A and B are shown apart, each in its own frame.
Chain A
Amino acid sequence: DTETVPHDEL
């Protein structure tokens, strides 16, 4: 699901 995506943006 989308929530486990790490924050890859600054």
Chain B
Amino acid sequence: MNIFRLAGDMTHLFSVLVLLLKIYATKSCSGISLKTQELYALVFLTRYLDLFTDFISVYNSVMKVVFISSSVAIVWCMRYHPLTRRTYDKDLDTFRHYILVGVSIILALLFHDRFTFREVFWAFSIYLEAVAILPQLVLLQRSGNVDNLTGQYVFFLGAYRAFYILNWIYRYFTENHYSRWISWLAGFVQTALYADFFYYYFVSWKNNAKLQLPA
């Protein structure tokens, strides 16, 4: 564990807490893409298949349970909770996210570390996470005004993978033959997808103005 990865995990955890706070405090999930939440639940369910087989550390197992349970709980809330489900922008959240799932499956079958059940699912989860934010970014552009908590949620969700890139650079130079090119490439694409969001987020923060994404 290094400081970059810890910072990344804490930022990721914080983004989940901000999202839960937003839904709980405003009793609304307007501006949140259910499709991105479903993709993230799928990412965690397919990446943490080793939760019960490989024990890395208490921290690792606890964080896996937290990410799986929070993402499933948010999807349940947005789909079935009588109060919040009505506030979901169903007609704005129209990204065809099953295409992202299909492309990730094909990529995982083509590019993986080893052709085993675990590794193909792991590669699938890495590719899917790289594009999982797309429905959310499209929804933000469509819904115009972005409330603070939603903006912070997306910001921290994007920042966590940037910390992971620093972690991979650190591990590359400190651990011999550490190579995770699947994570590196996907992580770079994932962070790059946030580039314009980060730009508008910075501008809104600098001008102390409401976050506005151009349509």
Interface size of A in residues (CB-CB distance below 8 Å): 9
Interface size of B in residues (CB-CB distance below 8 Å): 21
Grouping DSSP codes into helix (H, G, I), strand (E, B) and loop, the A interface class, with mixed when no group exceeds half, is: loop
Interface contact A3-B60, CB-CB below 8 Å? no
Q: For A3, what are the chain B residues with a Cβ–Cβ distance below 8 Å?
A: 113-114
Q: For B156, what are the chain A residues with a Cβ–Cβ distance below 8 Å?
A: none
Q: For A8, what are the chain B residues with a Cβ–Cβ distance below 8 Å?
A: 56, 60
Q: For A10, what are the chain B residues with a Cβ–Cβ distance below 8 Å?
A: 9, 12, 60, 63-64, 67
Is B147 in the interface zone, CB < 8 Å from A?
Answer: no
Q: How far is the CB of A8 from chain B (nearest CB, A)?
A: 5
Residue of B nearest to A4 (CB): B114
Total A-B pairs, Cβ < 8 A: 27
Grouping DSSP codes into helix (H, G, I), strand (E, B) and loop, the B interface class, with mixed when no group exceeds half, is: helix
Complex Cα distance, B179 from A1, in Å, reads 10
Residue of B nearest to A1 (CB): B177
Q: For B196, what are the chain A residues with a Cβ–Cβ distance below 8 Å?
A: none
Interface contact B164-A7, CB-CB below 8 Å? no
Interface contact B114-A7, CB-CB below 8 Å? no
Binding site for B on A (CB under 8 A): 1-3, 5-10
- Inter-chain pairs besides A3-B113, A9-B164, 18 sampled, C-beta below 8 Å: A1-B177, A2-B178, A3-B114, A5-B178, A6-B50, A6-B56, A7-B47, A7-B50, A7-B122, A8-B56, A9-B5, A9-B167, A9-B183, A10-B9, A10-B60, A10-B63, A10-B64, A10-B67
24 pairs across A/B with beta carbons < 8 Å?
A1-B177, A2-B113, A2-B177, A2-B178, A2-B179, A2-B180, A3-B113, A3-B114, A5-B178, A6-B54, A6-B56, A7-B47, A7-B50, A7-B122, A8-B56, A8-B60, A9-B5, A9-B167, A9-B183, A10-B12, A10-B60, A10-B63, A10-B64, A10-B67
